[in-house]
Amino acid sequence: MIFNTGAALLDAIVLAVVSKEPEGTYGYKITQEVRQVIDLSESTLYPVLRRLQKDDCLEVYDMECAGRNRRYYKTTSRGWAQLKLYESEWREYSSKITGLFEGKTEWKHDDHREGMEQHE
Protein backbone atom coordinates (compact mmCIF):
# COMPACT_ATOMS: atom_id res chain seq x y z
CA MET A 1 0.00 0.00 0.00
CA ILE A 2 1.47 3.31 -1.09
CA PHE A 3 -0.86 5.52 0.89
CA ASN A 4 -0.41 6.14 4.59
CA THR A 5 -3.17 5.15 6.93
CA GLY A 6 -3.39 8.05 9.36
CA ALA A 7 -4.62 7.82 12.92
CA ALA A 8 -8.14 8.94 11.97
CA LEU A 9 -8.50 6.38 9.21
CA LEU A 10 -7.08 3.68 11.46
CA ASP A 11 -9.64 4.58 14.14
CA ALA A 12 -12.38 4.47 11.52
CA ILE A 13 -11.31 1.05 10.23
CA VAL A 14 -11.06 -0.43 13.72
CA LEU A 15 -14.44 1.03 14.70
CA ALA A 16 -15.97 -0.40 11.55
CA VAL A 17 -14.50 -3.85 12.23
CA VAL A 18 -15.64 -3.86 15.87
CA SER A 19 -19.09 -2.53 14.94
CA LYS A 20 -19.70 -5.47 12.63
CA GLU A 21 -20.04 -7.61 15.75
CA PRO A 22 -23.05 -6.52 17.81
CA GLU A 23 -21.84 -8.72 20.68
CA GLY A 24 -18.31 -7.38 20.56
CA THR A 25 -15.09 -8.96 19.39
CA TYR A 26 -11.57 -9.54 20.68
CA GLY A 27 -8.11 -8.20 19.93
CA TYR A 28 -6.69 -11.06 17.90
CA LYS A 29 -9.74 -11.26 15.66
CA ILE A 30 -9.84 -7.48 15.19
CA THR A 31 -6.18 -7.53 14.20
CA GLN A 32 -6.66 -10.31 11.67
CA GLU A 33 -9.69 -8.63 10.12
CA VAL A 34 -8.04 -5.23 9.90
CA ARG A 35 -5.03 -6.87 8.31
CA GLN A 36 -7.25 -8.27 5.58
CA VAL A 37 -8.09 -4.72 4.59
CA ILE A 38 -4.88 -2.82 5.18
CA ASP A 39 -1.34 -3.99 5.64
CA LEU A 40 -0.09 -3.07 9.08
CA SER A 41 2.06 -4.43 11.83
CA GLU A 42 0.26 -6.57 14.38
CA SER A 43 1.48 -4.43 17.24
CA THR A 44 -0.16 -1.31 15.82
CA LEU A 45 -3.65 -2.12 16.98
CA TYR A 46 -3.29 -2.19 20.75
CA PRO A 47 -2.68 1.58 21.01
CA VAL A 48 -5.59 2.22 18.66
CA LEU A 49 -7.96 0.07 20.72
CA ARG A 50 -6.74 1.67 23.94
CA ARG A 51 -7.21 5.15 22.48
CA LEU A 52 -10.71 4.37 21.28
CA GLN A 53 -11.49 2.97 24.69
CA LYS A 54 -10.25 6.14 26.37
CA ASP A 55 -12.33 8.22 23.99
CA ASP A 56 -15.37 6.19 25.07
CA CYS A 57 -15.82 4.88 21.57
CA LEU A 58 -15.19 1.32 22.69
CA GLU A 59 -15.96 -0.46 25.92
CA VAL A 60 -14.33 -3.62 27.13
CA TYR A 61 -15.65 -6.59 29.03
CA ASP A 62 -14.27 -10.01 29.81
CA MET A 63 -16.05 -13.15 28.79
CA GLU A 64 -15.08 -16.70 29.59
CA CYS A 65 -13.98 -18.69 26.60
CA ALA A 66 -12.39 -22.16 26.63
CA GLY A 67 -11.60 -22.01 30.32
CA ARG A 68 -10.06 -18.55 30.35
CA ASN A 69 -11.18 -14.97 30.21
CA ARG A 70 -10.94 -13.14 26.98
CA ARG A 71 -11.27 -9.39 26.68
CA TYR A 72 -13.93 -8.22 24.29
CA TYR A 73 -14.29 -4.83 22.65
CA LYS A 74 -17.68 -3.46 21.83
CA THR A 75 -18.75 -0.22 20.16
CA THR A 76 -20.42 2.32 22.46
CA SER A 77 -23.07 4.82 21.38
CA ARG A 78 -20.30 7.37 21.09
CA GLY A 79 -18.35 4.93 19.00
CA TRP A 80 -21.33 4.58 16.69
CA ALA A 81 -21.65 8.33 16.35
CA GLN A 82 -17.94 8.62 15.68
CA LEU A 83 -18.15 5.87 13.08
CA LYS A 84 -21.04 7.65 11.32
CA LEU A 85 -18.94 10.80 11.26
CA TYR A 86 -15.98 8.93 9.81
CA GLU A 87 -18.17 7.25 7.22
CA SER A 88 -19.69 10.48 5.96
CA GLU A 89 -16.29 12.20 5.97
CA TRP A 90 -14.81 9.28 4.06
CA ARG A 91 -17.60 9.31 1.48
CA GLU A 92 -17.01 13.00 0.87
CA TYR A 93 -13.24 12.65 0.76
CA SER A 94 -13.10 9.55 -1.41
CA SER A 95 -15.75 10.77 -3.85
CA LYS A 96 -13.78 13.97 -4.40
CA ILE A 97 -10.56 12.11 -5.05
CA THR A 98 -12.34 9.61 -7.30
CA GLY A 99 -14.05 12.45 -9.13
CA LEU A 100 -10.70 14.05 -9.73
CA PHE A 101 -9.14 10.84 -11.05
CA GLU A 102 -12.08 10.14 -13.34
CA GLY A 103 -12.25 13.69 -14.65
CA LYS A 104 -15.68 14.33 -13.18
CA THR A 105 -14.68 17.23 -10.99
CA GLU A 106 -16.55 20.39 -11.85
CA TRP A 107 -14.08 23.18 -11.48
CA LYS A 108 -15.43 26.50 -10.41
CA HIS A 109 -14.06 29.52 -12.23
CA ASP A 110 -15.92 32.43 -10.72
CA ASP A 111 -13.00 34.74 -11.17
CA HIS A 112 -9.37 34.60 -11.83
CA ARG A 113 -8.34 35.21 -8.28
CA GLU A 114 -10.35 32.40 -6.76
CA GLY A 115 -10.82 30.24 -9.78
CA MET A 116 -8.79 27.28 -8.60
CA GLU A 117 -10.72 26.62 -5.45
CA GLN A 118 -12.78 23.54 -5.89
CA HIS A 119 -15.06 23.97 -2.94
CA GLU A 120 -16.09 26.40 -0.23
Partner 1 sequence: MNRAEYMSQLEGLLKDISPAERVSALEYYNDYFDDAGPENEQAVMEALGSPARVAETIREEVPGNDFEGNARQAVPEDRAVIKYGQSGRYIQSGSDQQNGHNQTDQTEQYRQADQYQHTHQYQQADQHQQPGHSRSGMSGGTIAVIVILCILASPVIFTLATGIGGVLFGIVVAWFCLILGFGLAAAILLMVMVILLVVGIAGIMIAPAGAIGVIGGALICGGLGLVFLMLTVAMAGIVVPAAAKGIASLFRKIFGRRKASV
Q: Does 42 bind partner 1 (CB under 8 A)?
A: yes
Give the C-alpha separation, 34 to 57, whole Å. Answer: 17
61 interacts with partner 1 by CB under 8 A? yes
38 contacts partner 1 (rule: CB under 8 A): no
Nearer to partner 1, 39 or 102 (CB): 39
Q: What are the beta bridge partners of residue 75?
A: 58
**If binding is defined by CB under 8 A, does position 28 make contact with partner 1?**
yes
Backbone φ, ψ for residue 44 (5° rounding): -75, -25
Binding mask 89-108 for partner 1 (x = CB under 8 A): x-------------------
Q: Does 119 sit near partner 1 (CB under 8 A)? A: no
Phi-psi region of 66 (alpha: psi -120 to 50; beta: other; left: phi over 0): left
* Stated length of the chain: 120
